[in-house]
Amino acid sequence: MKKLLLVLAVAAVAVPAASAGGWATVGLSTLPPAGLPANEDWPVDITVLQHGQTPLAGVTPIVRIRDDGGNVVKSFTATPTGKTGVYHATVRFPGEGSYSYEVYDGFTQYGGAQTHTFKPVVIGPADDGLPYGWLVVALGLAAALAAGTTLALRRRRPEPAPVRLREAA
């Protein structure tokens, strides 16, 4: 019985370790800059780390750009930089609009390849929100001016003279 328990304990530890397989994390040297014009280069270095720690050589990361509908519109294959685990890609977004982007890490050993997704980005002129921001400021100033004018006009009115009542004689 003790041998059976020992075998089961060893199996319980060995099976999860064997099935954990390989996985990797992906880090980017930069994010696409706000207001990046369409068809302008976004140079990016991609760091691929096995289990989030060990730089991975011999993989081929791919940066994919997806449109609002989720369709891949462009792919860019990264190339080794000479530094283990670091790969370089020059990415170009095809037009103005909102895009999502992702990096396929290329770590196919042990069936661990994954696609890492990132926050969507707006390509084209930066949206400063100025027209609406100025509108809010202008409306606030107009309201303050109207309130100030109303208070000033009320203060300028003369107080009515008190009415004296005649006394009966």
Per-residue pLDDT band at 159 (split at 50, 70, 90): low
Mean pLDDT of 76-101: 96
In this prediction, residue 158 carries a pLDDT of 66
Query: Strand (E) positions, 57-143?
Result: 62-66, 72-77, 79-80, 86-92, 97-104, 115-123
pLDDT level of residue 39 (50, 70, 90 thresholds): very high
Q: What is the mean pLDDT of residues 31-54?
A: 94
Q: What is the pLDDT of residue 91?
A: 97
Structure confidence at residue 133 (pLDDT): 62
Classified as helix, coil or strand, 11 is helix
Q: Which two tokens stand for residue 135?
A: 């509108």
The pLDDT tens digits of the residues spanning 124-153 come to: 975 555 555 666 677 778 888 887 777 777
